Structure 1
């Protein structure tokens, strides 16, 4: 039976590894201040909260805010928008960095590979405001490149951001352009861990490049794919607030209004902190449920151990 460490021994171990603990201290402090401490304010959702009166002077209303949110006219519209937007992003955007990483891994020229990889990284490091401005300018019906292309083929320019039916397509494909190169890093790292002897043995057995890709490369990086998929499922009800809010206008509001933008407008603009917190708490609970479900399914139906 393993003997438990005494408090004195624990202090000695911490002192020996003090440099490591000092390195992680800023991260721990950041999480405590900006991730865990704000959770104490989730109780606002159970009050008719008044900023000037605080919890003592605000009326306790129980689950009335949740009932009001679930039965409101905006609820199903918000759920539809955020789920459809993330479903399309998952369907198209999740495989994109995997395929991109596989293509890069199969390239023989190291110089060309580095150039392509560097170019694909650049959009991720552009600020969101600048990125949205670039996309908006590209899609402009008067000065954008898309308008010139349509005119070249004899078509009339389209105001894409002014038509609600194009909003989800713009969000999904601009997201792929922005994050594909950066997201591929995880899969490229996993590919470096694949045993080269497996490829050599397959080549001896007569396996071509396609067979090696299907039977060796993809199975070897499948645990990484499963973990990334679980994390992506957990964000299925979340949306990129900055990007959506910057792309949002009165013409596409019907399909672009999601829980995050609604929380901002309701809580920060209209000062309805109770309803804003209620929507945010609901969003977090659903995200947690999705992560747990995806993790259990991955452990049941695949060889992956999940993320816990």
Structure 2
């Protein structure tokens, strides 16, 4: 049963790594990688010489990563704590089922849902027109694009991300809560001294994995909405690789950018994992 999954992993994740040699070649789609001319480190000049389009993509990526790390990462933890406090098992399961559903929708559907509600012809603006009020420019507003992306991510994935935290919460010994209750600890004190320490290992593990993927901020989500707000406000590293490489036919430079991004992500994981060991946590792996 594992063979199909392993085949996909090896083919598209490990064997495909050999294609990174394009970063040192003047690759053309109608030529093979082997027959393309070597150009050395010329393709990396887009990074070392600070191409304005590339710097703009890096800036947007870092801003979006910072905002989503602050707002999106803690959201499932808070939601898991709220769900864990629900006493009725029937209500808890019903709420979980509703919260899990958006995760199974593709980004095409999610973007369409937001556009049908917040777009120029959406429900909100249609209601405002009917009552003679000023309409809202949300979907096509570059100043609100990051807030829009963040809200979409939270709506789609927060419920699904609570699964790990709920599993970790179920593993906390209930006698610890009973002991703190006997000592007179309030609900908030129990969360601070029992619940959060019980979740610390999972939180650190997911944070390390999040750091490794921090420069990937949703290619499909952004490319579907890029035309509405323009390149300047929406270009990130992943869309830069697509627009510069596939659309702009600069395959070597795009591969170089993607390769550097992967190396940085790997270093972030290794560094964060080492830091977790310093603080006595297991991290992703033991070293």
Q: Give the TM-score taking structure 1 as reference length.
A: 0.87
- 1:275 Cα deviation from its structure 2 partner: 1.6
CA distance in 1, matches of 2:52, 2:200: 42
CA distance in 1, matches of 2:194, 2:129: 43
Q: Return 39-48 or 204-213, whichever deviates more.
A: 204-213
Specify every segment of 5 or more residues in structure 1 that has no aligned partner in the other structure, as ranges.
1-22
Map of 1:252 onto structure 2: 230
CA distance in 1, matches of 2:128, 2:162: 30
Aligned structure 1 segments of 4 or more residues deviating by more than 3 angstroms: 146-152
Map of 1:271 onto structure 2: 249
Residue 298 (1) aligns with residue 276 (2): yes
Map of 2:168 onto structure 1: 190
Residue of structure 2 aligned with 1:243, choices 221, 224, 231? 221
Residue 123 (1) aligns with residue 102 (2): yes
Specify every segment of 5 or more residues in structure 2 that has no aligned partner in the other structure, as ranges.
none
Matches within 5 A, 1:10-159: 23-71=1-49, 72-145=51-124, 148=127, 156-159=134-137
- Whether the 8 Å CA contact 2:168–2:202 is kept in 1: the answer is yes
Figure out how many residues of one structure are paired with residues of the other and give that number. Answer: 284
Cα gap change, 1:252 to 1:24, in 2 (>3 Å): same
- Whether the 8 Å CA contact 2:54–2:240 is kept in 1: the answer is no
Q: Give the TM-score taking structure 2 as reference length.
A: 0.93
- 1:272 Cα deviation from its structure 2 partner: 2.3
Cα gap change, 1:90 to 1:147, in 2 (>3 Å): farther
Cα gap change, 1:304 to 1:147, in 2 (>3 Å): farther
- Whether the 8 Å CA contact 1:140–1:147 is kept in 2: the answer is no
Greater radius of gyration (CA)? 1
- Whether the 8 Å CA contact 2:139–2:228 is kept in 1: the answer is no
Q: Equivalent residue of 2:139, what SS?
A: helix
